[in-house]
Amino acid sequence: MYIQWKYQDPPNVVTFKDPTASPTVDGWDFDINVIDIHTLARVAIIPRDSETPVAVALVQAGYLGTTPVNPSVAIALRTLELFYSLQLFKPSFSVEAFAKTICHTLGVPYRRTYRTHLSDAFDIYLTLRRKVDARIAEELGHNTPNYRVLHSCPPCNYKLKDEPSLIFERMFVIDGNNSLKRLKSVGNRQAADTREFRGSDFYLSSEYVDQFRDEVKTKASGPRAHLSTAEEHQEDDEWVDEDAGDPTDGSTPNSRFSHCTNNWKASSAESKKRMWDGFEESGIFASACRHGFILWICDMIHSGELAKYPLAIVAKALEVFDGHWLLGYDIGCSFAGTIDRSSLGPEFNAKECRTCVNAFHGYSHNAACQQANHPNNIVGMGLEDLETLERIFSLSNQLASVTRYMSPYRRRQFIDLFFQQWDREKYQSLATFLHNNYIQALKIINEDASRLFAELQKLELTEDDIETYWAEQKQHFDTLETEDPHDLRTMEYVSLLQQLQGVKKSLDIGLFGLHTKTPSDYAFLNDPSSYNTELSQTRKIETKRQYLKEQHKDLLFQVVQMEALLDIQRRWEPQDSEYRAAVKRMDEQKYREALLKLHRLVVQRLWELHKMNLSQTGYKMRTQIAHALQKRSKAIRNAVATYNAAALNLDPPRPTVDWSKVSHYSFLDQFDLLADTRYSVLEKPWAKPVIRELMMQVRRVSRAREEITRLNIELRRLHTSIVDEEKHFVTVLDRLSESSSPVYPAVMQFIEQRRAVHKLLLARMQLTYALPGFTGTPYPGNSPRSSTVGENQLDRISNGGQSDDEGGADEDDDEFVSYVSAISDYLSNVTS
């Protein structure tokens, strides 16, 4: 009935704008209170015969009852469609806001019952739309398992015959977002709406996710060793899942990426506090391809980013996708170890998949990690930054104010609605995405490559020399944390000697303060209170003396033990060369620790500033961030002072940093990380600023060339998918037309909307084909699926009607070619 109403002329309906009137109802017709923002009707007479149920008669008349049996109120379908459209393009627009808008338009006081009626009717309306969409998908053959994931993004999925191979067949990214939380019920009360929403193919079920609950055990139990130096402001009321570990708990503890793991644990500690116990779902964990299409999402229930969520998505990707894919994650370095040690490891390695870190988050990782896992340094990645989900979350956060208090059913329903529209918009802007990336890559190749070549000639270097420097730098950072055990013991020995000397000095001062005979100027105390005061002070001095004696004894024992271990025959003195060498190494170690702490605080400040600038950030959140920034600025000021003291204590002294400059850093590349000491890194050729700049340029130009290669493939895949889909549409419409299928109007509307989008995509692709420097193929190719949808010959959607064998255009294509040309000319004028 919904399809009949939507795509055919509905029956005439008598409406009464005056609710106080007494309409005359004949036969089986009935009157009902209605909500209609278009006609402003308050009461409507619904035509009906004896065979038609009330609910069906309402739909035939263009209304939807709020209950299936004997409804007292009906909502106009056009009103529900208006709210549906508003919700697609303004996710933060709530049902309550729409109900108040209707009441204001009707001139009646708002009551909560209006919101309830609208919400219930909208649930039914969305159910109807899902059923219609399922019928359309069935007729088009889009109802196969995993169809959306395998077909929504043609540049990722629509492989062609004889196309060049890529190092990574696809790239996608995963991450968690805690904005879409939902409050739990108070006490043990159950929500009235106990339905479970399973009408989405975006969501991985909780049962599927929980298969990986026991893959990784938590390492957070016991003392928080990993937070001892990374989070000094941590509170004690952390929430910790004692069974399931986080995505870093499965990695090797002593790997070279352990610093990245510790920093991530410290940064994510806030999301584990017990304050999140007030939420049933604490957010979502999502995945998306590099073009922005959503793959899968799952709810994070009563937890932060546990390992089971990314492992579930990896398992699904291994099940659905072929091999040679790359996964981006802000902790992709350590998560690779978690995958390898899980049950997914053998298949993950057999398919030659790998992980990496996102471009922005990657700059907070240590140098060794960036060498191996940053997108700029991975061959085959092109110019992809893998920050796709950050852009998605910045818009999906608009849903937070609407879904926070919803039932589980409605929360998932609205999230599913948002991501459906997101994917539709991504498809419509797909050619623009590829076009802009092509322009960016060409600009780098044309401008940066010429400057790079000139600089290399000026320095009498080649790109091979730069690659050699890069290999030397990588080798340096790979062995940076390898300490000589003898050096570590000597530093520990000298540290014990310094502590022993300090305790001995304090003990001598304490003994000097005690008298062994009566002084000549001693005056007897007659006042008992003065006597008690002096007695208390004497006892405190004696207590401190006894403590120092015990400490001296313990330190002396440790020194003797260390001397036996190092085979030291004579105790070192400050003037000894071994002692001075150990002190120098200790100063360098303190310097490096001060540098790392300062870098960490600057990174945290940049993240907070980034969050501060996000749209839809609430007032309370902005206030908390501003307060945290004030504290962080004090911490940075103290870290700068510590760093400068450690820098000046070196031989030779290192340059100090200015607090005013550090506090205003806005990009991580402004922070110098080459101030190493032990390995004389500043003397290395690759540490010179000029060489480092050339190394970055060589990498960027290489990535740009890779991007061009990938874009040429992706553009042709998109073009071919449009051609094949049009052939398929013709076949489906002919079949439905011959059978007079009732779903034909719905399928036809879907196809017409899809064709309109295809025209925009083709027009944009024509602009890309016309770019100076375009090196791809400006016409479609052949895919393995072409034989299932028609002849392997280009039809009226191909490039100007041309085929691989013929250079002319078919007469039937003239109108479409003119349309594409007109759009191309228009867009050229707009973009010029």
The pLDDT of residue 28 is: 81
pLDDT in tens, 576-588: 888 888 888 888 8
pLDDT in tens, 512-558: 555 556 666 666 666 666 667 777 777 887 888 888 888 888 888 98
| Strand pairing category for 354-356 and 325-328 | parallel
Residues 352 and 490 in one domain: no
Is 134 in a helix, a strand, or coil?
Answer: helix
The helix or strand, by DSSP H or E, that contains position 639, with its residue range, turns out to be helix 619-648
- When pLDDT is cut at 50, 70 and 90, the band that residue 366 belongs to is confident
Residues 387 and 489 in one domain: no
Q: To the nearest whole percent, how much of the chain has pLDDT over 90?
A: 36
The pLDDT of residue 232 is: 41
- When pLDDT is cut at 50, 70 and 90, the band that residue 193 belongs to is confident
Kindly report the average pLDDT of the chain as a whole number: 79
SS (HEC) of 432-454: HHHHHHHHHHHHHHHHHHHHHHH
Q: What is the mean pLDDT of residues 330-346?
A: 90
Q: Is residue 645 part of a domain?
A: no
Residues 269 and 178 in one domain: yes
List the beta bridge partners of residue 279.
183
- When pLDDT is cut at 50, 70 and 90, the band that residue 623 belongs to is low
Q: What is the mean pLDDT of residues 158-171?
A: 92
Q: Is residue 467 part of a domain?
A: no
pLDDT in tens, 703-752: 999 999 999 999 999 999 999 999 999 999 999 999 888 899 999 999 99
Q: What is the mean pLDDT of residues 16-28?
A: 62
Q: Which residues have C-beta within 8 Å of that of residue 368, sequence separation ≥ 6?
A: 256, 257, 477, 478, 480, 481
In this model, does residue 16 exceed pLDDT 60? Answer: no
Q: Is residue 328 part of a domain?
A: yes
Residues 745 and 802 in one domain: yes
Residues 179 and 125 in one domain: no
**Count of domains observed in the chain:** 4
In this model, does residue 251 exceed pLDDT 70? Answer: no
The helix or strand, by DSSP H or E, that contains position 642, with its residue range, turns out to be helix 619-648
The pLDDT of residue 226 is: 40
The pLDDT of residue 815 is: 47
Contact (Cβ atoms closer than 8 angstroms) between residue 64 and residue 391: no
Residue 696 phi, psi dihedral angles, 5° rounding: -65, -40
Q: What is the mean pLDDT of residues 622-637?
A: 65
Residues 419 and 498 in one domain: no
Q: Is residue 647 part of a domain?
A: no
Rounded Cα gap, residues 307 and 209, in angstroms: 10
Q: Which residue has the higher pLDDT, 237 or 746?
A: 746
Q: Which residue has the higher pLDDT, 663 or 157?
A: 157
The CA-atom distances, in angstroms, between 614 and each of 397, 530, 603 are 10, 65, 17
Residues 116 and 180 in one domain: no
Domain end: 532, 554, 572, which one? Answer: 572
Residues 282 and 417 in one domain: yes
In this model, does residue 194 exceed pLDDT 60? Answer: yes
The pLDDT of residue 11 is: 53
Q: Structural domain of residue 816, as residue ranges?
A: 703-831
pLDDT in tens, 63-88: 999 888 888 899 999 999 999 999 99
pLDDT in tens, 110-149: 999 999 999 999 999 999 999 999 999 999 999 999 999 9
In this model, does residue 267 exceed pLDDT 60? Answer: no
Residues 419 and 505 in one domain: no
Q: Is residue 74 part of a domain?
A: yes
Which of 384-393, 434-443, 467-476, 630-639 is the most confident on average?
Answer: 434-443
Residues 211 and 129 in one domain: no
Rounded Cα gap, residues 723 and 759, in angstroms: 11
Which amino acid does the sequence have at 328?
Answer: G
| Strand pairing category for 294-301 and 279-289 | antiparallel
Q: What is the mean pLDDT of residues 282-301?
A: 94
Rounded Cα gap, residues 693 and 556, in angstroms: 52
Q: Is residue 648 part of a domain?
A: no
Residues 248 and 390 in one domain: yes
Contact (Cβ atoms closer than 8 angstroms) between residue 640 and residue 618: no
The pLDDT of residue 230 is: 39
Residues 260 and 336 in one domain: yes
Q: Is residue 370 part of a domain?
A: yes
Residue (of 474, 482, 473, 480) closest to 687 by Cα position: 473
| Strand pairing category for 279-289 and 182-183 | antiparallel
Residue (of 142, 392, 182, 395) closest to 290 by Cα position: 392
In this model, does residue 825 exceed pLDDT 90? Answer: no
In this model, does residue 219 exceed pLDDT 80? Answer: no
The pLDDT of residue 819 is: 45
Q: By mean pLDDT, which of 27-41, 183-197, 728-742 is the weakest? A: 183-197
Rounded Cα gap, residues 566 and 214, in angstroms: 45
In this model, does residue 832 exceed pLDDT 70? Answer: no
Q: Which residues have C-beta within 8 Å of that of residue 536, sequence separation ≥ 6?
A: none
Q: By mean pLDDT, which of 169-183, 353-367, 413-427, 741-755 is the weakest? A: 353-367
* Residues 670-703: b if buried by 16+ CB within 10 A, e if exposed: ebeeebbbeeebeebebbeeebeebbebbbbbbb
Q: Is residue 456 part of a domain?
A: no
The pLDDT of residue 615 is: 46
The helix or strand, by DSSP H or E, that contains position 44, with its residue range, turns out to be strand 43-46
- When pLDDT is cut at 50, 70 and 90, the band that residue 257 belongs to is low
In this model, does residue 791 exceed pLDDT 60? Answer: no
The pLDDT of residue 190 is: 62
- When pLDDT is cut at 50, 70 and 90, the band that residue 46 belongs to is confident
Q: How far apart are the first and last CA of the chain?
A: 49
Domain end: 544, 572, 600, which one? Answer: 572
Q: Which residue has the higher pLDDT, 658 or 736?
A: 736
Domain end: 408, 427, 446, which one? Answer: 427
Q: To the nearest whole percent, how much of the chain has pLDDT over 70?
A: 74
pLDDT in tens, 661-675: 665 555 444 454 444
Dihedral Cα 79, 85, 88, 90, nearest 10 deg: -80
- When pLDDT is cut at 50, 70 and 90, the band that residue 768 belongs to is very high
Q: How many CB atoms sit inside 10 A of residue 758's CB?
A: 22
667, exposed or middle or buried, with CB in 10 Å at 0-12, 13-18, 19+? Answer: exposed
The pLDDT of residue 799 is: 42
